[in-house]
Amino acid sequence: MTGPRDAVTSYLDALNRGDPDFIAACVTEDFWNEHTSALGSSLRGRAAYRERLPQFLGRFRGLHYDVEDLLVDGDRATVRYQMSCRWADDAGREFPVSIRGMFWFAVRAGLIEHRIDYWDGTEFTRQVSA
């Protein structure tokens, strides 16, 4: 069985690779993707998450998470990250984005069961409003 550290690093690797099927394979059927930023949109379920990934990855082009710190405690983990991408607006213009944030994860049976994403929506808006 995959431990929490391996589950989290596999999930982040999947996000960095940008493969929706690989990303969705890293989460449980009842996955809860929770966002704290008003700009984020929470959802529940692997199927709903998988369905939304192509649009998300299309807007956040070249998405990459650089891990600054990873802490594991039992079946929970936190990751301090630096996220970078080229965000595409509705007109197809791209804006470079770089934001620090933090993930909190709960892992069950080697898969991500719950993810909370903490990031600054105001900073994101500032960077894409140039």
So what's the pLDDT on residue 88?
92
Q: pTM for this one? A: 0.92
Domains of the chain as residue ranges with CATH:
4-128 (3.10.450.50)
- Candidates 117, 100, 102, 120; CA nearest to 31 is 117
Instruction: Give 1's Cβ-side CA count (13 Å radius).
Output: 8
Q: What is the CA radius of gyration of the chain?
A: 14
| Residue 27 near residue 44, CB atoms below 8 Å | no
Q: What is the pLDDT along the chain (130 residues), one digit of tens a residue?
A: 578 999 999 999 999 999 999 999 999 999 999 987 766 777 899 999 999 999 999 999 999 999 999 999 999 999 999 999 999 998 989 999 999 999 999 999 999 999 999 998 889 999 998 6
So what's the pLDDT on residue 130?
64
